[in-house]
């Protein structure tokens, strides 16, 4: 059942806060962050904040320690593991950075569930300082999307992923997100795909203004319990549809060996 691509935003979708704010707040740099916020784009500000942390004696180890304490809803990890175990191709599309995301996913033991992490590059330089760079080099080649911040258009990333899969594979997409940056990709999802906006968060507000602009089927969620239940239900629903198509296309239906004891098709057990 490799017919489903599940794309997750990271902040406030997989984890239950914003990792950038979390690191800055936990290390005691909220005031400086707020002071600089009106003067710099977010991505540039995060690079600057990492420089400030370094010059005030905060080490990479200090950053890793706070990342490992990041809040996450207890049902999100089981949901991700179940989706992965059912054969879905899971990917991350996030405006955080590779260092934060890799550190957190490895710590949570779910890094290997994801085939791809699309985010801003984050790396430790020779001075032991974390650098955070833009995903798109906006000076050399601006992405040209008016909905998105200059460092990242998630819509372009989704388009790239959609185009990288041949139409014959007939994959279905499920996209989960909360932020304004998740609105652009939601507009690019095709019919028969699924959009899971977090209820009462910016992407949900934007979608609600004119839901007809989104071709994908919309399923809102509020917390990790919802996320797990709805995501696994959608995966189940798609799997049943795929099996039904397979059966109708195959006149040798009788030869399918379905155990009488096991209701068919039982792809996923959805926990209530
Ligand atoms: Mg988010
Ligand atoms: Zn965009």
11 among the known binding-site residues?
Answer: yes
Ligand nearest to the CA of 19: 1
The yes-or-no verdict on residue 257 having pLDDT over 60 is no
Report d(CA 56, CA 62) in Å as an integer. Answer: 12
**Using CA of residue 97, residue 112, residue 233, residue 4, what is the dihedral sign?**
positive
Catalytic residue among 9, 47, 89, 226: 9
Please answer whether residues 214 and 192 qualify as being in contact, where contact means their C-beta atoms are separated by less than 8 angstroms: no
Report d(CA 21, CA 35) in Å as an integer. Answer: 14
The yes-or-no verdict on residue 106 having pLDDT over 50 is yes
The yes-or-no verdict on residue 259 having pLDDT over 70 is no
Report d(CA 223, CA 75) in Å as an integer. Answer: 9
Report d(CA 85, CA 88) in Å as an integer. Answer: 7
* Antiparallel, parallel or unpaired: β 172-177 and 4-8: parallel
CA proximity to 238, closest of 197, 258, 268: 268
9 among the known binding-site residues?
Answer: yes
For the segment 177-199, the average pLDDT, to the nearest whole number, is 97
Confidence of residue 250 (pLDDT cuts 50, 70, 90): low
Active site residue 112: no
CA proximity to 115, closest of 33, 7, 34: 7
Q: Which residues have C-beta under 5 Å from ligand 1, the single-atom ion? A: 9, 11-12, 178-179
The alpha carbon of 21 and the centre of ligand 2 are apart by a number of angstroms equal to 23
The mean of the pLDDT values for the chain is: 91
The alpha carbon of 148 and the centre of ligand 2 are apart by a number of angstroms equal to 4
The yes-or-no verdict on residue 264 having pLDDT over 50 is no
The alpha carbon of 91 and the centre of ligand 2 are apart by a number of angstroms equal to 18
The alpha carbon of 10 and the centre of ligand 1 are apart by a number of angstroms equal to 5
- Helix, strand, coil shares of the chain, percent, nearest 5, are 45, 15, 40
SS3 for 212-258 is HHCCCEECCECCHHHHHHHHHHHHHHHHHHHHHHHHHHCCCHHHCCC
The yes-or-no verdict on residue 110 having pLDDT over 50 is yes
The alpha carbon of 78 and the centre of ligand 2 are apart by a number of angstroms equal to 31
Confidence of residue 249 (pLDDT cuts 50, 70, 90): low
Cis preceding linkage at 265, omega within 30: yes
The yes-or-no verdict on residue 171 having pLDDT over 60 is yes
Tokens of 261: 């004891």
Alpha-helical (H) ranges within 38-140 are 42-55, 60-67, 76-85, 98-108
For the segment 44-73, the average pLDDT, to the nearest whole number, is 98
The yes-or-no verdict on residue 37 having pLDDT over 60 is yes
Report d(CA 169, CA 184) in Å as an integer. Answer: 24
- The whole-number pLDDT of residue 113 equals 98
Confidence of residue 245 (pLDDT cuts 50, 70, 90): confident
For the segment 15-39, the average pLDDT, to the nearest whole number, is 98
- The whole-number pLDDT of residue 19 equals 98
Sheet strand arrangement including 89-97: 114-120, 89-97, 4-8, 172-177, 194-197, 217-218
Active site residue 9: yes
Please answer whether residues 51 and 127 qualify as being in contact, where contact means their C-beta atoms are separated by less than 8 angstroms: no
Per-residue pLDDT of 121-166, as tens digits, reads 999 999 999 999 999 988 887 888 999 999 999 999 999 999 998 8
Please answer whether residues 72 and 15 qualify as being in contact, where contact means their C-beta atoms are separated by less than 8 angstroms: yes
For the segment 238-250, the average pLDDT, to the nearest whole number, is 79
Report d(CA 164, CA 34) in Å as an integer. Answer: 40
The yes-or-no verdict on residue 68 having pLDDT over 70 is yes
């Amino acid at each position: 059942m490799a017919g489903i691509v599940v794309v997750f935003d990271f902040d406030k979708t997989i984890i239950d806060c914003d990792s950038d704010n979390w690191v800055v707040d936990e290390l005691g740099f909220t005031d400086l962050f707020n002071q600089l916020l009106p003067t710099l784009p977010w991505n540039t500000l995060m690079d600057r904040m990492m420089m400030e942390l370094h010059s005030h004696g905060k080490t990479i180890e200090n950053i890793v320690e706070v990342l490992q304490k990041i809040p996450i809803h207890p049902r999100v990890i089981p949901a991700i593991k179940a989706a992965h175990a059912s054969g879905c191709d899971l990917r991350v599309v996030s405006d955080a950075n590779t260092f934060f995301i890799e550190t957190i996913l490895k710590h949570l033991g779910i890094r290997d569930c994801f085939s791809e992490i699309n985010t801003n590059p984050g790396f430790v330089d020779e001075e032991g300082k974390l650098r955070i760079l833009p995903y798109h080099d906006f000076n050399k080649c601006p992405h040209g999307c008016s909905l998105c911040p200059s460092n990242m258009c998630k819509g372009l990333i989704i388009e790239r992923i959609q185009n990288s899969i041949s139409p014959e594979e007939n994959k279905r997409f499920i996209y989960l997100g909360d932020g304004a940056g998740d609105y652009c990709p939601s507009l690019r999802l095709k019919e028969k795909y699924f959009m899971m906006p977090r209820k009462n968060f910016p992407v949900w507000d934007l979608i609600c203004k004119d839901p007809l602009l989104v071709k994908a089927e919309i399923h809102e969620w509020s917390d990790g319990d919802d996320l797990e239940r709805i995501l696994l239900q959608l995966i189940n629903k798609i799997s049943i549809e795929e099996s039904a198509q397979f059966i109708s296309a195959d006149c040798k239906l009788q030869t399918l060996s379905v155990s009488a004891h096991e209701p068919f098709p039982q792809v996923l057990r959805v926990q209530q």
